[in-house]
Chains A and B, each alone.
Chain A
Amino acid sequence: EPEVTQTPSHQVTQMGQEVILRCVPISNHLYFYWYRQILGQKVEFLVSFYNNEISEKSEIFDDQFSVERPDGSNFTLKIRSTKLEDSAMYFCASSWDSGTQYFGPGTRLLVL
């Protein structure tokens, strides 16, 4: 069964450093998403991406964040200058249409 994959599974970085989180969505899906879950808190929407552009973003998704689909398979989330409060589990998801979103296993980001 096709699945969303994410790399790396864990990332530790220093405050102020740039990180890139990578996702490979399910191959025939058209909509792509990033969510995050700070430890002990609810899952929060960051951004959705369709037809090579952002279709919606949350207040969390400020100028420090960017997304890109550099080729036909990868979908990346970049944080330019990480802050301590960016420490969280980051989930990528994809969907064929506006219905069910399928989630990857997540990348646990720790900012020191």
Chain B
Amino acid sequence: AQSVTQLGSHVSVSEGALVLLRCNYSSSVPPYLFWYVQYPNQGLQLLLKYTSAATLVKGINGFEAEFKKSETSFHLTKPSAHMSDAAEYFCAVSGDNAGNMLTFGGGTRLMVKP
């Protein structure tokens, strides 16, 4: 069975500071990994995905994530936070099932202080 753990349900950073949101996964097969963002009262928007190509994946809005198989991690980073980055971020994994089910982590709410 696959699972995702996001360390830190809330992360607060100052505007301009580094953003680091942590994600660890477990999967019995090579995984597909995703980061989605959810702005208040909106749906889930894909930020980026890893599908066994380059281990460093660049996404929208300046975010990137690095797949580290040895650490079973897929942490999300952004060099400089903007106020508009305040949202909930979800890490998800798929691959360990026939129906392409996504298993989500618990989410991390990012707050950006001026």
Contact = CB atoms under 8 A, between A and B. Distances in A.
B100 A95 contact: yes
B100 A48 contact: yes
A45 B49 CA distance: 18
B43 A56 contact: no
A43 B104 contact: yes
Interface string A40-77: 01111100101000011110000000000000000000
Interface residues of B, number: 24
A101 B112 CA distance: 28
Nearest to B103: A45
B43 A45 contact: no
Contacts of B44: 43, 91, 93, 103
A44 B43 contact: no
A65 to B, nearest CB: 15
Q: Report, as a range, how many residues of chain A touch the other chain.
A: 20 to 34
Contacts of B94: 98
A84 B49 CA distance: 35
A107 B92 CA distance: 21
Contact of B32 (A31, A42, A48, A99): A99
Contacts, number: 62
Nearest to A55: B99
Contacts of A43: 44, 90, 92, 102, 104, 107
Contact of A56 (B90, B92, B101): B101
B43 A103 contact: yes
Contacts of B45: 103
A28 interface: no
Nearest to A58: B101
Contacts of B90: 42-43
Given A42-B105, A43-B90, A101 B43 contact: no
A78 B101 CA distance: 19
Interface of A: 31, 33, 35, 41-45, 48, 50, 55-58, 91, 93, 95, 98-106
Closest 9 CB pairs of A and B: A56-B99, A48-B99, A105-B43, A103-B44, A55-B99, A43-B104, A45-B101, A98-B100, A42-B106
